Amino acid sequence: MRNPFRFFIELMQQPIWVPIWVLYLMAINMASVGFWYHPLAKMIFITFMISAMLMMGLYSRFGFEKILGLGHFLWVPLLAYIVAQIPAVEGGFQSYLVVLAVSIAISLVFDCIDVLKYFTNRRRTLDLP
């Protein structure tokens, strides 16, 4: 098992766009606290914290591997709910939800590609004689 705090050390060793993207995702999710009066903001924050814990668990088990994308599986229903709620809110919270929804969607595309690559490479490795 790896120390989950090493995640940030390994994150900083990735190509520069990766830590920037991760820090952006952390910031945009944590910005939900600014709309704490809305129940959806609480759901966003709680989902983010659970996903962070899942990712740390995955990191502890597998290291900095493409399987880490599985830690965001809760973002799929969250994204659907956010998109459904966008027309029901207004002002700054609505703008925030649009930016967050686009950000989560982009992240999920990266995650799906990474997880698919992880399992494809793993299967290929296991199939070798």
Measured CA to CA, the distance from residue 116 to residue 98 in angstroms comes to: 27
pLDDT of 44-100, one tens digit each? 999 999 999 999 999 999 999 999 999 999 999 999 999 999 999 999 999 999 999
| Predicted local confidence at residue 127, as pLDDT | 62
Decide if 92 contacts 47 (C-beta within 8 A).
Answer: no
For CA atoms 39, 43, 48, 52, give the dihedral sign. Answer: positive
Secondary structure class of 97 (helix, strand, coil): helix
| Predicted local confidence at residue 5, as pLDDT | 82
pTM, 2 dp: 0.88
pLDDT tier at 33, thresholds 50, 70, 90: very high
Which of 81, 58, 82, 70 minimizes the C-alpha distance to 108? 70
